[in-house]
Amino acid sequence: MAVNLIAPARLEAVPGARWAVAEAAIKKPGRPDMALLLLPETATLAGVFTRNAFAAAPVRVAQQHMATGRARALLVNSGNANAGTGRGGLADAQACCARAAELLGLDAEQVLPFSTGVIGQALPLDRMQGAIDTLASGLDEDGWLAAADAIRTTDTVAKGASRAVDIGSGQRIVLTGIAKGSGMIRPDMATMLAFIATDAAIDSDDLDAALRAAMADSFNAISVDGDTSTNDACMLCATGAGPGLSASDSGWPLFVSALTDLARELAQAIVRDGEGATRFITLAVTGARDPEEAREVGFTVAHSPLVKTACFAGDPNWGRILAAVGRARVADFSIDRVAIALDDVALVADGEPCADYAEADGAAVMARSEYTIAIDLGRGSGEATIWTSDLSYEYVRINAEYRS
């Protein structure tokens, strides 16, 4: 059902970054549901985490362990989010880290846990600890595809991408990332996990700045700026096995650009694989007073069930778009200069329906699997681009039957 999305045929190995996968039958047996990424001693890490007040146990533990600045391994499971599990959940996450650390010759606080899946159930710790034993002995630089598969929950397609960047002086670095997430009607409730690595040697502060820059136009353009699900996390690792790179280098913008591009491809893949999605929709908001205002309008439209069901039906019921724009939290909002278009078909200009708009033209755009809803507020130069999917029967089926 994913919209123009296929699993990557291959992903570039990142020197120094080794993955392993194993089956712990966390939710059900039959496929790998755990993955481990081990990084060399030279590695640095950056991460962004959910701001949900009920942040899951693994998120809390990962943040604590990150704070030591000594992290070396990421331990991921699908099938159970270990969220809403109280003190027992924290102990379970720590136990998993300890087991992995013991096998890898690390301290427990050098292992960061990540979980995604059902909320409110205890992890099957025994089965997971057995799987961790398997993980520790199967690490491989060519493990990215297998890891992309193991971290899926309702994802129908494994998500990953690679980039190579020439950062000058003939020096080439590689970037590879994987992601999971597909509950996209309200992206701020879907668990989104992303793990990106490069072989460049980058200090922690620069790496953190690069990650935050890349997030703004990628994962944060499909999700409401981090105050998202209980488990969201995006990690960026620099193994240090390759060339050194710092924010003052001439090659730095090329690196950030490639990272942003990679993150955007992963973020868009999550939307394309949105639960029950049949359309990939770009909301291009311009003419706002500032980017935040543009984002508010974009997300209000993107979150509108009435807009999303009209998109599913391919019905150019553009009044629903207009109604959503009109209820966005925008101060002193006059519609007199608002323009709305579906791809190249103008619907509204200067706040009025376009006289020459023909419904057949709107329907032709909405029959496409991908199109842009362009909204110009006519009151400034603030812009934002948001990606979203439609709302189908299949979305309801997936989420009504998720635990069965």
- Residue 289 CB, shortest distance to a second copy, in Å, is 14
Structure-derived torsion over alpha carbons of residues 322, 326, 327, 329, reported in degrees to the nearest 10: 130
The kind and range of the H/E element at 113 are strand 111-118
Cα-trace Rg, the chain: 22
Catalytic hit among 44, 176, 191, 198: 191
Contact pick of 84, 244, 291, 378 for a second copy (by CB under 8 A): 84
- List the x/- string, 221-260, binding to a second copy by CB under 8 A: ------xxxx------------------------------
Catalytic site includes residue 191: yes
User: Which amino acids are annotated as binding site for substrate, given as ranges?
Assistant: 153, 180, 191, 275, 399, 404
Helices (H), 119-251: 125-136, 144-150, 204-216
71 binds a second copy (CB under 8 A): no
Alpha-carbon span 66 to 75, nearest angstrom = 13
Q: Which two tokens stand for residue 264?
A: 């955007």
Interacting span for a second copy (CB under 8 A) from 1-9, 68-76, 115-123, 210-218? 115-123
> Which structure tokens are listed for 241?
């096995």
x-or-dash pattern for a second copy, window 159-198, by CB under 8 A?
A: ------------------------x-xx-xx---------
Runs of H (alpha helix) within 151-282? 204-216, 252-272
> Which one of 2-10, 46-54, 131-139, 235-243 is the stretch in contact with a second copy (CB under 8 A)?
46-54
- Other CB atoms within a 10 A radius of the CB of residue 67 amount to 10
Measured from the CB atom, the residue of 171 and 317 that comes closer to a second copy is 317
Does residue number 120 form part of the binding site for a second copy (CB under 8 A)? yes
Which C-beta is closer to a second copy: that of 109 or that of 232? Answer: 232
For 158-183, letters b (16+ CB in 10 Å) and e give bbbbbbebebeeeeebbbbbbbbbbb
- Which position has the token pair 């280098």? 249
Residue with tokens 């069930």: 305
Binding to a second copy by residue 92, rule CB under 8 A?
A: no
The catalytic residues are 191
Contact footprint for a second copy (CB under 8 A): 51-55, 81, 83-87, 118-121, 183, 185-186, 188-189, 227-230, 304-306, 309-310, 312-313, 315, 317-320, 322-330, 333-335, 348, 351-353, 391-393, 395-397, 399-404
